[in-house]
Structure 1
Amino acid sequence: MVKPLYKVSFLNHGKVYELYARRVHSGSLWGFTEVADLVFDVHDGVVVDPTEERLRDEFADTRVLHLPMQCILRIEEVEKKGQSAIRDAGSGEKVVTPFPLPAKPR
């Protein structure tokens, strides 16, 4: 049997985070939803998506996210994993962390 996969969209510091997880349920803390078993693409070598890499680093040691119900925008059960993202809450545009460039010589 295949475990269900959920796409969870929630507000965090003025941005909309879109993550994928295997477990989502009402938490033991009143008013919170537990999101566990986060799913990220695993790529060795070249980083294909810097946003996915940033999210994986940010949530690397997270066992369970306890999200306040009022910050959750949507929870979808999906067939396959899409791209995790961080979007601007106002415009919906993806927030892309630019690749660091070397400093200009003076």
Structure 2
Amino acid sequence: MAARQIYRVVFHNQGEIYEVYAKQVFQSDMYGFIEVEGFIFGERTQMVVDPSEEKLKAAFEGVKSSFIPMHSIIRIDHVKKEGKGKIMDAKGQNIAPFPMPPIPGK
């Protein structure tokens, strides 16, 4: 039996840093995007509820696959087991999104 593949994807999204776990990550057919499928979230058997993980679950509820721009990706890791997904404030972090070229005509 093949081992289950799990990936940790860390990316920028609207001033926040998202850390999600997924079963599949690959280059999308849409140029410049990474496709992430099969999101994995922690079990609800715990007594303590993590608000950032609940916010993450709500953000990706019902999502089959997500297309993330390549310039937003910070890191993709192939991990042995899933951890807690989280959303962190990007302020105070030593990570910045890749600079975008200026929009012509502005």
TM-score category (smaller protein): 0.7 to 0.9
Q: Which amino acid aligns with 1:60?
A: E
TM-score normalised per structure 1? 0.80
Aligned residues: 92
TM-score normalised per structure 2? 0.80
Could you list the structure 1 runs, at least 4 aligned residues long, displaced by more than 6 angstroms after superposition.
none
- In the alignment, structure 1 residue 48 sits paired with structure 2 residue 49: yes
Cα distance in 2 for residues equivalent to 1:65 and 1:78: 20
Q: Which amino acid aligns with 2:13?
A: N
Once the two structures are superposed, residues 69-96 of structure 1 have per-residue CA deviations (whole angstroms, 9 ceiling, x without a partner) of 000000001111111111121324xxxx
- Structure 2's unaligned 5+ residue stretches are 94-106
Give the secondary structure class of the aligned counterpart of 2:18.
strand
Once the two structures are superposed, residues 34-56 of structure 1 have per-residue CA deviations (whole angstroms, 9 ceiling, x without a partner) of 00000001215855212111111
46-55 vs 57-66, greater mean Cα deviation: 46-55
- What do you get for the CA RMSD once the two structures are aligned? 1.4
Aligned 1:19-98 pairs, distance under 5 A: 19-44=20-45, 46=47, 48-92=49-93
Q: Between the two proteins, what is the percent identity of the paired residues?
A: 37
Q: Which amino acid aligns with 2:23?
A: R
- Paired residue for 1:5? 6
